[in-house]
Structure 1
């Protein structure tokens, strides 16, 4: 097959749709490092990141082959979104949550007060943390996403805004409402917390 010259993503995609496999190889080669990094920053494991990278491109091939891709000129952001969603889905399934540090430097989990660290209290702490993870999962998707990107991936609000396609103010607002909602969920579920830590 004739080698494809360096062309823009849209041209390469059209060539691939018309049966030119080399065009897709060039797309993968061009973008795989950026996509891999996006995944790795979330899962923190190179083997898992490599697996999810492959799954991302399998998904891309499926969508393109079924003529369901319609975001001309936005190939990389589209693929990054697929990769991001796969990594977040893996992260949710694994039930691994970040140490959520609030703006005053306090840790979300540290707001649970116990007098002693007896075996019973340690058990209660563990159960409460598990319950808090469930509460985080109840957050609206946009709020949960910002929370995860900020506190687990360690992205700045500028990076979060670029990753999710919103303004910095919107990203900041989603984080604020995520913390307000967490506090509300905790109140509803009678989980003890420090009013100063969880103030909106």
Structure 2
């Protein structure tokens, strides 16, 4: 399967870097997807989709920081897994119950100027946020551009911008209503 990903790379000089990222993060992506879909075959499908998308956009999304790259791939895996669940549930006609159980522990950016209490409050609010707003906000906090986020989440840039605005408004409202 790695050969297929390497063929999808735009730049053949990135093969070694991509191979390192794949070997380092493939289990993380698989287990992140498995936590959401609870099916090994579906988790494999998500793993393949995430790395194929990464190979196609590797030059734009690659980061030297291994932790940021791993966090990016984990968010992509969770997003793809949720999309897969939604697609399955739409065909079956079930309610969107499995998505409410997904939890995320994204790290705060290193350069954030915030005290520990506010960070804990913001993290708790982010956990309560709907997945459609949470994933773009987390990727933005990791330093990705709107176009990179759109590519990773299979959205348009305008949708990403709107979800970022709405997510920030929700967080702002919750932070200020909670302090009264």
Which structure: greater helix fraction?
2
The alignment's TM-score, normalised by the length of structure 2, stands at 0.47
Higher relative contact order (CA 8 A, sep 6+): 2
Q: What TM-score do you get using the length of structure 1 for normalisation?
A: 0.43
